[in-house]
Structure formats: structure tokens, C-alpha cells
Amino acid sequence: YRLTRIAVDNAAGPHRNHTVVFLGSERGIVLKFLAKMRSGFLNDSLFLEELNVYNPE
């Protein structure tokens, strides 16, 4: 599927110290990643979940 949207929450988590990236597709799939930052740069990422947010039925 083709990714068409991106959203970033840079104050996620209970202590608001995590960055979560959401990637949306044209089919209604949202991929959620935890961005592991170091010194202000992306060092690594961890795939968290895949959500199907569009159900045509």
C-alpha cells in the first residue's frame, strides 16, 4: 500500500518524553512507530502497531 500521510506526536507517553510517528495509507491503514531520538536526531525506531481505521462495511 502507498503511504499518503504522516503525523508526529513529540510529547507522547506518561512523562511526555517520547516521539511517536503515525504513517497513514490510502487504504486506511495506520502504522505506528516509536522514534528513538538521540541528541535531536533519529537514532532508531520501533514498530508498535498496525491499525485498520477504514472499514467500508
CA dist., res. 26 & res. 41, Å (int): 28
Range of the domain at 34: 3-52
CA nearest neighbour of 30 among 56, 46, 6: 6
Q: What is the mean pLDDT of residues 16-37?
A: 95
pLDDT at 56: 64
pLDDT at 37: 87
42 CB-near residues (< 8 Å, 6+ apart): 35, 36
Number of domains making up the chain: 1
Residue 35: inside a domain, yes or no? yes
Q: What pTM does this model have?
A: 0.85
Residue 57: inside a domain, yes or no? no
